Structure 1
Amino acid sequence: MANVLFVTYTNVNGHLIPNLTYKSGEQMERIGKYGFLRRDYLKNHKNSLYQVMLLQDTIGEHLLEVDKAAREREEVILKQLEEKEPLPDKEADQMAWVRAANQHRAIAEEIILKELIYI
């Protein structure tokens, strides 16, 4: 499916301001959680960069790269955390295992957000 750039206009104090939105079938379907978090960050905090990437048709590729890097980084961080603080035996105490696994995931996500998403 082809990439499509849609332009709508918002009326602000009598002036029409263009609002660019990016619609890409296949690329946008492959973007995961971290890619969408990055897109939202760019839209809300680095809007001029976001608009340039839209116009140059590089936003989809950028979001895919960020998402892939974030998922790879998450795997590495989770392995490091498990080596440092092994998870309890899942069979012996399932709730303790879930708590520890969730804590590891939260730590990994916090690191990823600071290193890759909110920059």
Structure 2
Amino acid sequence: MEKHIYDEKNGLSYTLCGNYYLPDLVLNEEEPTYGKYGMLRKQFLKEHRPIRYQNLLLSGKLTAHLNQIDQEATEQVEVLMKQMVEKQGVNENLKRQDQMRWVRLMNNVKASAEEIVMREIIYV
């Protein structure tokens, strides 16, 4: 039996291991550049969408997917925070007058924006 074979039908090469031919698969290990939302998406996919996670991983598209999700989520959080801050009247004047109230409101705005993004982008 040959040590290495190539299958024209599927375009894969195989190596003989014992009595079996195993496909020569190589995992493309890109350096992950995604942030918080990319990591949350990865964890969600692993736990709740394992088939999709495996497909992305084996096709080499996982890192690109996580980077895209991270970028979209970050941009959406920023947009939502700006909108909420304007609507609630949180401004620099309030920051000078009552810092603790300003911090409380900003923390609430950020938590609300992140919750919306988690529900609409990360956990789908």
| Interval of TM-score (by shorter of Structure 1 and Structure 2) | 0.7 to 0.9
Greater C-alpha radius of gyration: 2
1:98 corresponds in structure 2 to: 103
For the aligned residue pairs, the C-alpha RMSD in angstroms reads: 1.5
**Structure 2 unmatched runs, 5+:** 1-26
Q: How many residues align?
A: 96
Q: Among the aligned pairs, what percent are the same residue? A: 42
Distance 1:68 1:22 in 2: 21
The structure carrying a bigger strand percent of its residues is: 1
Distance 1:69 1:46 in 2: 20
Instruction: Within 5 Å, give how 1:1-119 maps onto structure 2.
Output: 23-25=29-31, 28=32, 30-87=33-90, 89-119=94-124
User: Where has structure 1 moved over 6 Å in runs of 4 or more?
Assistant: none
TM-score norm. by structure 1 comes to: 0.76
User: In the superposition, relative to structure 1, how do residues 22 and 94 fare at CA in structure 2: closer, same or farther (>3 Å)?
Assistant: farther
User: In the superposition, relative to structure 1, how do residues 92 and 63 fare at CA in structure 2: closer, same or farther (>3 Å)?
Assistant: same
The aligned amino acid for 1:24 is E
> What do residues 15-57 of structure 1 show as CA deviations (whole Å, max 9, x unaligned)?
xxxxxx98532xx1x2110000000000000001101110000
Distance 2:29 2:102 in 1: 41
TM-score norm. by structure 2 comes to: 0.73
User: In the superposition, relative to structure 1, how do residues 71 and 109 fare at CA in structure 2: closer, same or farther (>3 Å)?
Assistant: same
> What do residues 53-95 of structure 1 show as CA deviations (whole Å, max 9, x unaligned)?
1000000000000000001101110111012102151121111
Distance 1:22 1:41 in 2: 21
